[in-house]
Structure 1
Amino acid sequence: MTARWSDPGCVTVAEGVHRIPLQMPSDGLRAINVYALETDSGIALVDGGWRRPGTYDEFALALAAIGRQPAEVHDIYVTHVHRDHYTFAVELRRRHGARIHLGSAERPGLLAVGALGSNVPESSLRELLRAGAADLATAVRSDTLDEPFDPLDWELPDSWMDAGPLAVPEHRLVAVHTPGHTKGHMVFHDLDRGLTFTGDHVLPTITPSIGFELGDWDLPLGRYLRSLETMLDDRDRTVLPAHGETGVGLHQRVRALLAHHDRRLEATRAVVSEAGPCTGAAVARRLPWTRRDTPFAELGTFDRMIAVCETLAHLDVAVDRGTVNVVSRDGIDLFSVR
C-alpha cells in the first residue's frame, strides 16, 4: 500500500483491478491513476498516462508487483484526450501493439491538436480575449510555445468508442458519454464490481476544469452539470478517479459537485451584481480559487487562464438561465445583473 495516493506503486482496489499512479511532470495533480484490469488474455488499461522519459520503466515496475509486464497490455480505454491520459497509451501501442480506444466525440479535438502542432491552448486563449484578458492570453501563449511538442504523441486511436458495452474479457464494462471536461469524455461502469472509472469527470477532492480543449465553446459547464446529473440516474458505485484516492461513493460525490457549482454560480452572480457591468476577467479577480481560497493574483499564469475560463463558464450558464445579462463590445463580453 502506498503512503499517498500519488506515490509510485501498484494498489489492488478490487479482484482483478489494480491502480497504478504514474507521475506527471511539473503538475499540481502530481500523478494520474492508470487502472490495470486483468483479463484472460493479458491486461486492459483504463487511461494511458503522460509519456515522459521515465514513464515506461515506472509502469513496468508497478506491473511487476502483480507478476505482469507491459507487453501483456492488449487494449487501452482512454477517458479523454488530454495528454496525461492519452500520450503514454500511444507509446505502449508503438512498443507492444496495444489497441487504443477513445470516445468518438474526441475526434475533432484530437485532429485539431495535430493540425495545430503545438501545446498552445488556442481555444482557451480565444476565451481569454472574450473575457477581457488579452495580456494573460499573451503570457500563456509565450509560456506554452516553449513547451516541447511531439506529433507522434497524438496519433489516432484504433477505434472510436460510443456509449454502450465494452468488449473487455472478464469485466462487464459499460461506457457512458459525459461531456463537460471535454466534449468526448467517457466514464466506465463496472457492472459486476460496483465501480466507476470516472476519469476527470468525478474527482474525490477537486473539481475538473471545464471545456479545456481545442474547438468551439459550447456551454461546457451546462453540459458538465447535465452529465453529472446522469450519474444519479443509475445505481451507486465506488469512484475510481484519474487523480486522487479511490473509495468515495459516486452519488455522494456527484451531489457535492452539483452543490459546489450552485454555490459558485451564486458567488459569481453576486460579484456581477456588486461590480456592475464587468468582464469575465474582472469577476475572476474577485473570486477565491482552489480549496485554499487562494487569491487570483497568487495563481500562476496557467492557473489564471483556467480560472478566467472557469468564470466564463459559470457566467455563460447564468446567462443561459436568465439570471445574468450580457452584451458584447469590440469582442469583449460585459456582464450585468438583470
Structure 2
Amino acid sequence: MPFRVEAWIPIGDLGSVNVYAFTDGASTVLVDSGMFSGKSVYTLLKGLRRVGVDPRSVERIVVTHYHVDHLTGAAILCEALGAELMLARGDLELLLRVGVEEYFRGALELLALAGTPREVLEEIKRYSPALRVAEAYSAVAEVGPKPLGEGDSIEMPGHGDYLVLETPGHTPGHIVLVSHGRREVLLGDTVLPDITPHVSLHSIYSDPLGNYLSSLSRIASETAGYLGLPGHGNPVKDVAARARELMRHHVERLEEIVYILSRLAGATAFEVAQRVGWSVAGGWGGLPPLGKYLALGETLSHLRRLEVLGVVERLEVEGKLQWRLAVNPLDAASLLRESFGRSG
C-alpha cells in the first residue's frame, strides 16, 4: 500500500487532498499533487519527508483528473524536481484544446440560459476557484503532460504495475488506477467515502451523469472486495458497496426532480435547484456562492440524464431553457428503475 500524504487546499470543508507516494527508496511516483500554492506544496513536501520519502526521488507524477486541487501543484513540483507529468487523456485534451478557463466560461453561459439570475452569476464568478487560477493551468500546460488512457499500465516503484481504467463523470477524462494483484484501486474523486462527488453539466449535448453511473457500475463489478484509496478522506474498505450507494443517491435525486417537475408546468434548472433538498441547513438559501454553482451544475446534469432517458423534454421559452415531464410520473419511475438496473 502506498504512503498517503495530505496536502493542504483552501477549498471549503475539504481542507486537504490525498497524494499517494509509491517508492522503493531510490525512485518515487506520486498520484495527484495538490494545488498551485506555496502552502499546498509545502505541506506535501513536509508530509513526504515525514513518511521517509525524499522529494528529490520523485520521478513521475500521475494525476487522476484536471481539477485544481489534484493537478495544479504538479506545475511547481515538476519545475522544481524535474519530474514527468502524466494526466488522463480526456482531461488533457480539455486542458490543451479548450482551456479550463474557456470551459468554465461556457458552463456559466449555460447557467445563464438555464435561468440563473445575473446577480447569482456575478456572485459565482467572484468565488469560483476555476476562474481565478488560469495562471496555474497555464503553468501545467507548459510542463508538457503526457496522456494516460484506458488499458495503459504504470509501474509503481516497489508495488508493481497499476492498470488505468477510464471512469468519466466527475470530469470528462477521469481515471482510476487498479492493482488486481494487490486488490487496490486509487479512486481519485470517482468514489469518496463521506461525500458525493460532484457531477456537473458543462455542455447541453453531453451526459456526464450517465457516464458517471456507468463508471460506478464498472467499479462495483471490477473492483469488488478491493481497498479504495480516494482523493479525499480515509480508505474505502468496500468500494463496490460505496459505488452502489452513490448510484442509489443519484437515482433518488432523479426521482426527486421528477416529483418537482410533476408539480410544475415547466421549470428552468434554476427553479428546480431552488426546490431540491440540498443537505445543508437552509437548503438552497444556505448554500454559499460556490455551493450554488455546484448545485446548479448537478441539477443540470440530472435534468440532462432525464432528458436522455426520455423522461423530460427540453424547450426554449423567451430565450431560457426549461424542462417539463414528457411522460406521466408512474412511467417515469419505471424508466428510472430500468435505467438503474442497467447501470447497477
* TM-score range relative to shorter protein: 0.7 to 0.9
Q: Is the 8 A contact 1:102 1:157 kept in 2?
A: no
Instruction: Note the residue ranges of structure 1 that are not aligned, 5 or more in a row.
Output: 1-13
Tell me, in whole angstroms, the C-alpha distance in 1 between the residues paired with 2:207 and 2:92.
Answer: 19
Please tell me whether residue 328 in structure 1 is matched to residue 316 in structure 2. yes
Please tell me whether residue 90 in structure 1 is matched to residue 78 in structure 2. no
| Counterpart residue number, 2:284 | 296
Q: Is the 8 A contact 2:165 2:175 kept in 1?
A: yes
Q: Is the 8 A contact 1:285 1:296 kept in 2?
A: yes
**What is the TM-score when the length of structure 2 is the normalising length?**
0.86
Deviation at 1:280, TM superposition (A): 0.7
| Counterpart residue number, 1:5 | none
**What is the TM-score when the length of structure 1 is the normalising length?**
0.87
Please tell me whether residue 123 in structure 1 is matched to residue 112 in structure 2. no
| Counterpart residue number, 2:198 | 209
Tell me, in whole angstroms, the C-alpha distance in 1 between the residues paired with 2:40 and 2:163.
Answer: 28
Q: Is the 8 A contact 2:220 2:241 kept in 1?
A: no
| Counterpart residue number, 1:190 | 179
| Counterpart residue number, 1:132 | 115
Instruction: Note the residue ranges of structure 2 that are not aligned, 5 or more in a row.
Output: 327-344
Deviation at 1:115, TM superposition (A): 7.7
Q: Is the 8 A contact 2:79 2:143 kept in 1?
A: no
Deviation at 1:331, TM superposition (A): 3.9
| Counterpart residue number, 2:150 | 163
Identity of aligned residues (%): 29
Task: Give deviations 1:148-186, integer Å, cap 9, x for gaps.
Answer: 542324435431011122233432200100111111100
SS in 2 for 1:137: helix
Q: Is the 8 A contact 2:166 2:173 kept in 1?
A: yes
SS in 1 for 2:215: helix
Please tell me whether residue 308 in structure 1 is matched to residue 291 in structure 2. no
- In structure 2, relative to structure 1, the CA distance for the partners of 1:216 and 1:267 (3 Å cut) is closer
Tell me, in whole angstroms, the C-alpha distance in 2 between the residues paired with 1:266 and 1:59.
Answer: 41
What's the Cα RMSD here? 2.3
Please tell me whether residue 200 in structure 1 is matched to residue 185 in structure 2. no
| Counterpart residue number, 1:7 | none
Task: Give deviations 1:253-302, integer Å, cap 9, x for gaps.
Answer: 01101111110000011001112211111010001213x46510111111
Deviates more, 1:165-174 or 1:275-284: 165-174
Which structure: greater helix fraction?
2
- In structure 2, relative to structure 1, the CA distance for the partners of 1:116 and 1:254 (3 Å cut) is closer
| Counterpart residue number, 1:274 | 263
Please tell me whether residue 25 in structure 1 is matched to residue 14 in structure 2. no
Deviation at 1:216, TM superposition (A): 7.1
Deviation at 1:54, TM superposition (A): 1.9
Please tell me whether residue 99 in structure 1 is matched to residue 84 in structure 2. yes
